[in-house]
Structure 1
Amino acid sequence: MSTYADPSKAVVWLDGDAFRAPAGTALPADIFAASLSGWEAFGGIKAGFTVQRTQEITKFTIFNANGTYLSVKGDEDGTIKMRPVDMSKATALTLLTGGSIVAAAGGYEWVKGDDEKFAYICRVSAGTRRKAYFLKKSELANIPDDVLNDEDLAGWDMEISPLIPDDGSRFIRVFTESNPLA
């Protein structure tokens, strides 16, 4: 039986927030601050976030060796999935993809745009533990379903796709409040 397990280092993320700002917006001085100036909060997020990263790996073998002789890794790709369940300004801006809302027919019509790019932060916490993801440039990767029924909270299943920023920096940056290597 292992004697190295340390339950104090295990985490179940209990709370989270997401924010958006214009593409290229700089990383905040404190990504874990209670409020982020210049960033719009998404509000209610159902069931947290799923950060999915993929990378294609091609393995090369040679006939006189057993196993992989060389591997080539492709570019990393990824998405962050979330489900906003409130009609915040950040949710509306993301759904509009650069479009607008105009008065029409006694109400307001949502006019979709052409794939607007934006900066994105999602962060989670469990007590004093915190983790955050920063995307300097991203876009909505899907056309989200609009869930309207009496069995669930109304919301939109969004996938946020990170893009390489104009300055060439990493497309997903990950932050924690402590250094487990220290």
Structure 2
Amino acid sequence: MSDYASPADARLWLDGDAFRAPAGTELPDDIFASALPGWDAFGGIKAGFSREPSQDNTNLTIWNKRGTYRQKKGEKTESIKFRPVDVSKATALTLLTGGSIAETSTGSNIFEWIEGDEETFALIIRVQDGTEWKAFYLKKSELASKPPETMDGEDIEGWDLEVIDLVPDDGSKSIRKFTSSNPLA
């Protein structure tokens, strides 16, 4: 039996939030604050999200060696997948990709969703386990593709969003990770 295992260091992320703002919006002073002025909340998100890094790698061999001698690494890309299940301002803005919503005629209470071409935005997504927090900040991101919309009576209506990170105009890191504690301390 291990003397090194620590259940106190294991995480079960039970709560979380996601926020969006115009691309280039600076990181808040406290990314874990209960309110983030200037950021629109997504509201309800179906349990959790996933961060998926990817990179193409090519094994390079040499004639007098067996196996991989070196590796040629492609560009790193990352995406975050999550599912908003309410129609908040942040959800609508993301789905509209730079578009708008317009009433079909004055007083009709019928609104058409008019999609735009593309739109970039900043994203904060964070999770909580008791007093521990983890968050990701993307200064510039965009929707990977138009998501399917689930309306089947078997699940909560929502949109499976995949947001990809883009290199910010100032050249800073495209995705930054934050925690409320330091495991190296």
TM-score bracket for this pair, using the shorter chain length: over 0.9
% identical equivalent positions = 60
Q: Which residue of 1 aligns with 2:78?
A: 78
What does the per-residue CA deviation read over 1:122-144, in whole Å, with 9 as the maximum and x for residues that have no partner?
Answer: 00000011000000000111211
Query: What is the deviation of 1:101?
Result: 0.4
Q: What amino acid maps onto 1:4 in structure 2?
A: Y
Counterpart Cα distance in 2 of 1:56 and 1:127: 37
Q: Which residue of 1 aligns with 2:132?
A: 129
Question: What's the secondary structure of 1:93's corresponding residue?
Answer: helix
Q: CA RMSD in A?
A: 1.1
Q: Which residue of 2 aligns with 1:180?
A: 183
> 1:23-62 to 2 correspondence within 5 Å?
23-62=23-62
What does the per-residue CA deviation read over 1:88-108, in whole Å, with 9 as the maximum and x for residues that have no partner?
Answer: 000000010110000105301
Counterpart Cα distance in 1 of 2:72 and 2:136: 27
Counterpart Cα distance in 1 of 2:2 and 2:52: 30
Q: Which residue of 2 aligns with 1:117?
A: 120
What does the per-residue CA deviation read over 1:118-163, in whole Å, with 9 as the maximum and x for residues that have no partner?
Answer: 0000000000110000000001112111111221111111111110
Does structure 1 conserve the Cα–Cα contact (< 8 Å) formed by 2:24 and 2:122?
yes
Q: Which residue of 1 aligns with 2:154?
A: 151
Q: What amino acid maps onto 1:143 in structure 2?
A: K
State TM-score, norm by structure 2: 0.94
Q: Which residue of 1 aligns with 2:89?
A: 89
Gaps of 5+ in 2: none
> 1:92-107 to 2 correspondence within 5 Å?
92-104=92-104, 106=108, 107=110
Q: What amino acid maps onto 2:62 in structure 1?
A: I
Question: What's the secondary structure of 1:87's corresponding residue?
Answer: coil
Gaps of 5+ in 1: none
State TM-score, norm by structure 1: 0.96
Q: Which residue of 2 aligns with 1:139?
A: 142
